[in-house]
Amino acid sequence: MIHKSARVALLAASSLASFAVATPALAADTQEWDRQAAFEALRALDPTATLDVVTNHEVPTGPANVLPGTVGANNGSIYSNSQQVLDAAGSINGIGQQIAFIQTGATTAGLSLCTGSLINPRAVITAAHCVYNNPAHRYGSNTGTGGGVSGNFGTGGAPLSSQGIPYSFGFESLNRNCFNAAGLPFTCPAGQKGAYETWRDANFQTVASRHIYNANQVWYGTGSQPVALGGSGEFANQDIAIVTLDTHAKGIPTWTLLFSPLDGPTHATITGYGGAGVGLSGIGNLAGIDYRRRSAENMIDALMSSADWGMSDAIGGGAAQFGALTHPIYWMDFDDPDFDPENLPANFFANVQPGPNPPRNNGYYDFNGLGGTALANEGTTAGGDSGGPLIVDERWDRPVIVGVLTGSWSFNGGIATYGSFSVYPPLFQFWEDIVQNNPYVYASAKAGNGDWFNQGHWVQDMDPNYAIIGSNGELLTGLPDTAQGGADGAVDRFGTVCFLGEDCNTFDGPATPTGNGTPVVTAGGPGSVNFVPNNVEPINSATPGSTIKARYYDVRLHRAGTTTLSQSATIDKLTVAGAGKLKITAPGTLNIWADYEQDGGWTQVDGKLNVGGDAIVKTGLVSGTGTIKSDFMTVVGGHVAPGAETRSVRSRLTAISSWLLPRRCT
């Protein structure tokens, strides 16, 4: 659970621009003028997808960043570098930075940066607009069908090359190390490389030791994709993507997804790796992305559509350009801690002064549109946060993600200052899309004896990171009992939009559909049958119907009965427990990417059991005449009963010619 007093570092692919102290000045002449100014600004406004986080001016300041491209310090970054905002060095929390390497010329390239959240060891959830400029089948340095790179790019190392677009997620709190005094990248000495430089110089291969992982497949919703690219072109509609990783991300925390709607204003944490700055335009400039993760807090003030907001009396009462944007999304606003509706500054809805260098709109646009007051560590999103999580952190005993950042509405050209609004498409509206495209499968054997390759022997279990709200408001592991509503599905809205406390519109209803209490079984989701747990590596194709989706299995044998493996199979993880038994016959081989854990049951290895991670026997029986290979094998309270023939267990801890017992605890 994330508390304001003990904040967990949570920002990925975004950054925080801090609040600045508001200097009260003369109020505007009349509120009618204020409303008209707001409406005129809104008419010229387009939704801006932003990528970083901005925090408030009352946090303790930190050191300044060098402004990229200059030799001067960035006076806005001192707020976003506050210890209350900047995530601790070395922290790994499952929020990662999207880094895609895009070739732009024979010797030039750029980076596409966003945020994502690890939802299991093989999948990241992010925003579709982070990837929809390219066909999904092109992503993956080893698996993409086009968009690969070839050249040196001035990195100082060997020429780089790839089959598809190199695409990764880095989970360290700082993903890039090498910038010079002007804030520009340079060739890294070997001992100074960050996660990004290490991945790049490994020719875009996963480097697990630096917590940066390659993507090998991408799915994204097309609701928000521009019409010219084949999508529907609706801002914030189905702006969700699932990115599959080519390597099991062992040891990195994963996040729970909430597939039920919130019922009212809720405290949240936002997080990301983007630019730095300050919330009040008059006192600080904006800095470039520095590849560091930051966190802030805010309130989810509303669940309503852009049409509700744009056509409200407070905003304009008839902005026709919002009429088609009827899908509900989560909203938060950026509150100035010194906001005073009776003493507004002279630049209220007016860009009256030269901005910092580089210049930016210097108006003041906070009219407390969604109500409430500024929180101690309040922040908003800005360049670098897209795809980052909206985390409900205080309501239950574990934090949950309810949406991913799609962008913002503002009155100053998309700059994250006081009065801007961040919006997130809710996950519950697209829960079936997420489940159907999640490559990670929790599977268990049915009761009774069966062959591993018998499709009827298996059932897909509930993903422990799927959650819903129960009838008493409790958080439950499970799936909804109604189909996803999609972008325009019925939702019980909440929230109030006002202009300086007046001209308020409150939004409510229609009621969210309810079911009969039985979770919906969606294709390829929990409850599915007729499959064999044997990892499927993806094949991406531009030909419709030719793409093969990745599937990675986390297998549990705990029901009474024997599962017999006489062929070769590969999975990500294995657990033997209860009354379950695994029998690997002499021709059989089970390859496990990550860990094998036994807590009861019986594992009989007459063939081969190859474990890429740790093998831990807590209780139960391990026997047989075959071979177990593992980096580490620990026997805590179980029993090992090798057969009469020659056996071997290979481990870094001890090399012996029979079964290894590196530790026995009582």
pLDDT digits over 265-308, tens only? Answer: 999 999 988 766 677 765 455 556 778 888 889 999 999 999 99
Query: Residue 255, by phi and psi: left (phi above 0), alpha (psi -120 to 50) or beta?
Result: beta
The answer, yes or no, to whether residue 402 has pLDDT greater than 80, is yes
Largest CA distance in the chain: 95
Record the pTM: 0.86
Query: Residue 509, by phi and psi: left (phi above 0), alpha (psi -120 to 50) or beta?
Result: left
Residue with tokens 């559509």: 305
Query: How many whole angstroms separate alpha carbon 511 and alpha carbon 490?
Result: 7
The confidence band for 553, taking pLDDT boundaries of 50, 70 and 90, is very high
The confidence band for 356, taking pLDDT boundaries of 50, 70 and 90, is low
Identify which has the larger pLDDT, 594 or 356. 594
The answer, yes or no, to whether residue 318 has pLDDT greater than 70, is no
Share of the chain above pLDDT 70, in %: 77
Question: 13: which 2 tokens?
Answer: 């692919």
Phi and psi at 248, nearest 5°, equal: -65, 120
The confidence band for 20, taking pLDDT boundaries of 50, 70 and 90, is very low
The confidence band for 361, taking pLDDT boundaries of 50, 70 and 90, is confident
The answer, yes or no, to whether residue 355 has pLDDT greater than 70, is no
DSSP E strands: which ranges in 545-594? 552-557, 561-565, 568-571, 573-584, 589-592
> Please, is 451 exposed, middle or buried when counting C-beta atoms within 10 Å of its C-beta (0-12, 13-18, 19+)?
middle
Identify which has the larger pLDDT, 21 or 157. 157
Question: 503: which 2 tokens?
Answer: 């001209």
Query: How many whole angstroms separate alpha carbon 421 and alpha carbon 405?
Result: 11
pLDDT at 143: 98
Enter the DSSP assignment of 511: P
pLDDT at 56: 42
**pLDDT tens per residue, range 555-607:** 999 999 999 999 999 999 999 999 999 999 999 999 999 999 999 999 999 99
3-class DSSP state of 264: coil
Domains and CATH numbers, the chain: 17-89+255-428 (2.40.10.10), 552-656 (no CATH)
In this structure, the strands spanning 450-451 and 407-409 are unpaired
Beta-bridge mates of residue 576: 557, 598
**pLDDT tens per residue, range 239-256:** 999 999 999 999 999 999
- The Cβ-side half-sphere exposure at 279, using a 13 Å CA radius, reads 34
The answer, yes or no, to whether residue 503 has pLDDT greater than 50, is yes
The answer, yes or no, to whether residue 186 has pLDDT greater than 80, is no
Count CB neighbours of 620 within 10 A.
19
Task: Taking the CA atoms of 367, 371, 376 and 379 in sequence, report the sign of the dihedral they define.
Answer: negative
Lowest mean pLDDT among 55-59, 457-461, 573-577: 55-59
The confidence band for 50, taking pLDDT boundaries of 50, 70 and 90, is very low
In this structure, the strands spanning 589-592 and 379-382 are unpaired
The answer, yes or no, to whether residue 42 has pLDDT greater than 80, is no
